[in-house]
Chain A
Amino acid sequence: MKYDVIIIGCGVVGAACAYQLSRYALRVGILEASNDVANGTTKANSAIVHAGYDPLPGTKMARLNVRGTELMGALCRKLDVPYRNNGSLVLSLSEEDDAALRTLYERGLANGVPGLRLLSREETLALEPNLSPELRGALLAPSAGIVNPWELCYALAETALRNGAELRLSAPVTAIERQEEGWRLRTPKGDFSAPYVLNCAGTLSDRIAALVGDESFHIRPAKGEYFLLDKSEGTRVEHVIFQCPSKLGKGVLVSPTVHGNLLVGPNAAPSDPEDTANSAQGLAFVRSSAQRSVPGINFRENIRNFAGVRANSDSEDFIIEESSVAPGFIHIAGIRSPGLSAAPAIGEEAVLLLRQAGLELKEKAEFIDSRRRVRFHELSEQEKNELIAQDPRYGRVICRCETVTEGEIVAALHTPIPPVSVNGVKRRVGAGMGRCQGGFCGPRVQEIIARELGLDPTEVLMDWEGTWVLCGETKGGAAQ
C-alpha cells in the first residue's frame, strides 16, 4: 500500500497530525501497533491542559504548549470532546516556593501565557477552601483546563478517517527500508510505503528511529501512578491544583476530571516503555504528597489506580524535526508533559515541517470538521424520549453507575474506529468507568461487543492483544 504520508503511532499526537493532514489532498496512512488508538500514554495521564508557564522561554515546548492550549477549547467544541477551562493554581507552601512561583510567573509572561496572577493566601482560599493550612499563596493560570485525552484522540483520528485517512490497527512497524521514493515499512499487516513518515511512536519512538539508523535521541520512559476517586470526591477542588515544581518534576496534582471524578497523581520513576503496573510505594508517595496540598481527600473513595508511561527523552525539549540521516523521516518524539496540551499545535507544526521537507499540500474542497456523539445522561427529558422512540436501545441502561445506554455502546461499535475490547468501549462511552468498575455491566458489554462485531464472546478482549477475558464455555457449549 502506498501513501503520501505515513504516521507511525495513533496516540493523541499521531491523531492530531492525521487530523491536520487530512485537510489536504493526500493519501495518509496511520499505523498503530496496538489493537486500538489512544492505547499508550494518551489513555493514562493527568488529562490537564497546561497554561504554559513551565517550559523555558524559547523552546518548542513553550511555544507549542501555549499555542495548543489556545486552540484546545475551540477544537474540543468542534469535535465534541469534553473539555473544561477551569484554570490552575500552583500552590506555595514555603518561602522557597514563593520564589519559585515568582519565577513561574515571569516565565509564563515570557511565554505569552494569558491572565496569570499571583494570589495571596486569602485570595487563593476564597477560590479553593479545601487547601492546606500551610498555604502561603498561589499562581493562578486561568487558561489552564482539563480534557478527556482519549476522546480527544478518538475525535481527531475519527475525523481524519472521515476525511479519507486510513488506519491499520495491530500493525507494529518491525522494519523500515529505504527505497527510491522514500520508505517501506514492514508490519504484520503488510508493507506500507511513503516518501514521508511521521514518527509519533511515543515511548517507542527511539526504537522506530533506530530502524532508519537514527540514534540521535533516546527515550527515557518515566512512569507515573494515579488514584481516580469517586464522584463523591469530585468537587473537593475546582481548579487543577499543582505544587511547586522541583527537580523531580511537576509534582503530584489534584484535579477534577471532565467526568466529575477526582484525579490524584502522578509520581515519577524510570520504567520500561510499556510497564503500567502500580506499586505500593508509588501509590503511598502519591497519597502523602497530595495530602500536602489538599489534606482532606478521602482515599477510601478510590475507585481505580492506574499508571501511565511518559515519553521523556534525553533532550530538554520536544524532538520535532526531520531526521538528519533519513530524509523525509520526521520525528515527533519525546512528547512528554505538556504534550497533550501541545497536541493541537503539534499537528500544525507537522504540516509545516512536511511542507519544508518538500511535500506539496493542496487543501481539499470539502473537509469534514465536526463530530457529535450522543451522551444520553446529558440530554433533556424530551430529547431522551425522542431518542428512545427512534431507537429503544437508548432506553436500556447498561452501565448503571455512569448511566450509559445500549444505544450509545452500539453507536460506538459502529464508529470509524470501532473498539474491539471492553476497555475500548469504556473509554468511548464511559460504561464501566464508574464506582463498580464494570462489575455489573462488564458481562453485558462483552455480549454486546460480540453481537455487534460478529465475534465469539471468548474473542472479546479486556484491552490490548492478549488480554483475554473468557477461556471457553462450560460443558463444551451448545452445538452450533
Chain B
Amino acid sequence: MKHYDLVVIGGGPAGLAAALAAYEQGIGNILILERDNQAGGILNQCIHNGFGLHRFKEELTGPEYAGRFIELVKQTDIEVRTDTMVLELDENRVLHTVSPQHGYEAIQAGAVILAMGCRERTRGAISIPGARCSGIFTAGAAQRFLNMEGYMVGKRVVILGSGDIGLIMARRMTLEGAKVLACVELMPYSGGLTRNIVQCLNDFDIPLYLSHTVTDIRGKNRLEQVVVSQVDEKRNPIPGTEMVFDCDTLLLSVGLLPENELSRQAGVEIDPRTNGPVVWENRECSIPGVFACGNVLHVHDLVDYVSAESEQAGKAAAAYLQGLRPEGPEIRLKNGNGVGYTVPQRFHKGAESLEIFFRVRAIYKNAAIRVMDGEAQIARFKREHMAPGEMETVKLPKVLLDRVKGDSLTVEIEESTVGDGSPVPQA
C-alpha cells in the first residue's frame, strides 16, 4: 500500500494552508487530495473581494487568495492530486481513493487532516412548501453557474436567507443584469456581515425583510411567484402578512453544514452543535493522528481565520508525526449562557495558551464574555457588540490555564443592556 506521512483531504484554503504549515515543520511526504479539477476549493467561485484583510493586509478576491496559497504549494514538493475522491477513511488512517488517473487506490497515511469544507442547506432541509418547479437554487450553485460557467440562472430574483453567500449573490446578479426583488430573513437579525448588507443590498436598494420567510412557491414549470410572510417570535408565519413577488428565481442562503460523512464513517466523534469533529486545542480529533480544520470543523465567516486554524492543524500534525504529543489532564469547555458552541471542545491542561472560538446565540450590546472555572471567574472580556453571524474569539494565556482547578471551563455571556438575552434587531 502506498504510504504518505501526511494526507490532507481537501485542496481548498484549509487544506492548502494545513499542508504548507506541516511542510514548513519539516514533513516531506505530503499528499493533498482534491475532488474538483483544480485546487482552491470554493474560493474559485467567490470572485468578490474582501478576503485576506487579516492575513495579507490587503483586500483580495477569492481566486487571488487561493492563488497565493497554490503558488506557495507549487514551490514545495507537496503532491496535489485533483479529480480525486476519498470514498472511505478508516480508523487506522487508510484512505480509499478513486480518480481517473490512479483508479482505485488505498493509501496509508501517518497523519490525516480533514479539510473537506461544508455544503449548503437545501430546500428539503427546511421543508419549504409549494410547487416543485425549477428556478430554486442554493446560492452557491447559482454562484458556480454565474461566476465559473458564465450562465445566468434567472432574471427576477428573491433570496431567502441573509447569509453572506446570499448577500454576495444579490450584488452579483444585480451587476450582471438581474433584478433582485428582496432578501428575506427568518430571524430578527441578519446572518451575514454588516458590510455585506451595506455593499450588496443597500447599495442597490434591495429591501431586507427580517422576521420573514417564504411560505409558498408557485409555478407549474418554472418558478412564477414566491409568497413571503412575516413570522412571530416563535418563527411561525403570521396569516394576513403575505406579500407576493413575481419572480423566476429563488436563491437559498439558509446555512452551511460541515461535510463530515467521511469523518463519521471513520468513527470520529462529532459535536452535534458544530456538526464538526470534537477537537483538542491542536485540532486533533477523537482518533489520534486525525486532525480537522476549516469549515469541516465549524463554519467560519472569514477565510483568514480558516487559514490560521489550518496552520495550527498542520503544525500539530507535523508534531504528531515527529512524536511530540500534547500532554496533561483533559479539561472540557462547556457552553454557558448565550454561547452556541466552542472550538476546541477540550484542551490539555498545560497548553501554552488557548484561543477559544465560539458563536453567541443572540445579538448583544455592551456585554462581556466570561470564562468560569466552576463558580470562579478566571477571565472576563468586554464586547460592545456581538452577533451570531460573527465568530467570537478569546485568548487565555498559560498563566491562567495553569491555575484551573476543575475539569472543565464554562464560556458564558454576561448581559447588560439586554437583560433577557432576547435578540435585538439590527437596523
Contact = CB atoms under 8 A, between A and B. Distances in A.
Interface residues of B, number: 50
B103 interface: yes
Contacts of A395: 83, 98-104
A474 B151 CA distance: 6
Contacts, number: 143
A389 B103 contact: yes
Interface string A290-322: 000000000010111111000000000000000
B130 A471 contact: no
Interface stretch (B15-23, B115-123, B186-194, B400-408): B115-123
Contact of A277 (B100, B130, B152, B176): B130
A136 B279 CA distance: 45
B124 A302 contact: yes
Nearest to B116: A400
A439 B134 contact: no
Interface string B208-230: 00000001011011100000000
A470 B138 CA distance: 14
Given A277-B132, A463-B134, A467-B134, A381 B104 contact: yes
A289 to B, nearest CB: 15
Interface string B121-150: 011110101111110001011001110111
Given A277-B129, A474-B146, A474-B150, A438 B124 contact: no
B197 to A, nearest CB: 24
Given A439-B138, A471-B155, A384 B104 contact: yes
Given A436-B119, A439-B140, A474 B100 contact: no
Interface string A371-382: 000000100010
Nearest to A395: B100
Interface in A394-418: 395-397, 400-401, 403, 405
Which range contains the number of A residues in contact with the other chain? 35 or more
B122 A439 contact: yes
B154 interface: yes
B124 A443 contact: no
A360 interface: no
A305 B124 contact: yes
Given A303-B122, A435-B119, A438-B141, A471 B221 contact: no
B134 A462 contact: yes
B114 to A, nearest CB: 15
B279 to A, nearest CB: 21
Nearest to A461: B134
B151 A437 contact: no
Nearest to A441: B141
Given A384-B104, A396-B100, A439-B140, A468 B122 contact: no
Contacts of B217: 277
A397 B98 contact: yes
A323 interface: no
Interface in B169-201: 176-177
A186 interface: no
B103 A467 contact: no
Tell me the interface secondary structure of chain A in the complex: mixed
A170 interface: no
Contacts of B360: none
Given A461-B134, A474-B176, A384 B98 contact: yes
A440 B119 contact: yes
B72 interface: no
B145 A470 contact: yes
Contact of A443 (B101, B144, B177, B222): B144
Given A283-B129, A435-B119, A443-B141, A388 B152 contact: no
Given A437-B122, A442-B141, A474-B146, A392 B100 contact: yes
A279 B129 contact: yes
B46 interface: no
Given A303-B122, A396-B83, A457 B134 contact: no
Contacts of B151: 457-458, 470-474
B125 A303 contact: yes
Contacts of A277: 129-132, 217-218
B124 A304 contact: yes
A471 B150 contact: no
A188 interface: no
Contacts of B141: 438-440, 442-443
B15 to A, nearest CB: 15
B35 A400 contact: yes
Nearest to A444: B144
A462 B222 CA distance: 9
B153 interface: yes
Contacts of B218: 277
A439 B119 contact: yes
A473 B124 contact: no
Given A278-B129, A438-B141, A474-B146, A468 B124 contact: no
A3 interface: no
B129 A471 contact: no
A249 B359 CA distance: 47
A362 interface: no
A464 B221 contact: yes
A277 B217 CA distance: 8
A27 interface: no
B248 interface: yes
Interface in A425-472: 435-440, 442-443, 447, 457-458, 461-472
B274 to A, nearest CB: 15
A469 B140 contact: no
Given A384-B104, A468-B134, A457 B149 contact: yes
Interface string B86-110: 0100000000101111111010000
Contacts of B215: 280
Contacts of A443: 141, 144-145, 148-149
A284 to B, nearest CB: 9
A441 to B, nearest CB: 9
A249 to B, nearest CB: 21
Contacts of B138: 439
A412 to B, nearest CB: 18
Contacts of B125: 300, 302-303
Which of B87, B102, B132 counts the most A-chain CB atoms under 10 A from its CB? B132
B316 interface: no
Given A276-B132, A436-B119, A457-B149, A471 B99 contact: no
Contacts of A279: 129
9 contacts: A277-B131, A278-B132, A280-B215, A381-B96, A395-B83, A403-B87, A435-B261, A439-B138, A472-B151
Given A279-B129, A395-B99, A397-B87, 11 more contacts: A280-B215, A392-B100, A400-B85, A405-B98, A436-B122, A443-B149, A457-B149, A463-B134, A470-B152, A471-B152, A473-B151
Interface of A: 227-228, 274, 276-280, 282-283, 300, 302-307, 377, 381, 384-385, 388-389, 392-393, 395-397, 400-401, 403, 405, 435-440, 442-443, 447, 457-458, 461-475, 477
5 tightest A-B contacts by CB?
A466-B221, A392-B100, A462-B134, A467-B134, A395-B100
